[in-house]
A = this chain, B = another copy of it.
Amino acid sequence: MNEAPDQGAEIHVCAVEETIEIIGGKWKCQILHTLQDGTKRFGDLRREIPDVTQRILTRKLRELEDHGVVHRKVYAEVPPRTEYSLTPLGQSLGPVLDALENWAIKSRLSATKAQQ
């Protein structure tokens, strides 16, 4: 719809929402987790995250790239080759993702206790 040219700057009431917009959405945290192992080609990611379609994987990678957490390097070759890796900013997400994961585990325990 030819929206306004706000260079990726969405309106967020609190900073927390900005981070969630970047790492939220289906597949995003899986992609990030996979890339924490190191640089991967597009086909590698497809193999390691088998349930995502090409289209969606491409789109999610593009979103992560637009937000500066993933770097995309295209080699002008035939057949084409593209390598994805975390930027320094993307690597700095590690502790944040760990915090979210650890809280989820704690949350599960609380839910279990509540059912007893």
- Taking Cβ atoms with an 8 Å cutoff, the residues of A that contact B are 13-20, 22-24, 26-27, 29-30, 33, 51, 67-68, 88-89, 92-93, 95-97, 99-101, 103-108, 110-111, 114
**Interface of chain A: mostly helix, strand, loop or mixed:** helix
The answer on a CB contact under 8 Å between B111 and A16 is no
Q: How far is the CB of A99 from chain B (nearest CB, A)?
A: 5
Q: Besides the contacts A14-B30, A16-B23, what 6 more A-B pairs have beta carbons closer than 8 Å?
A: A15-B101, A15-B104, A16-B33, A16-B97, A20-B20, A89-B107
Q: How far is the CB of A40 from chain B (nearest CB, A)?
A: 17
Contacts of A89 in B (CB 8 A): 106-107, 110
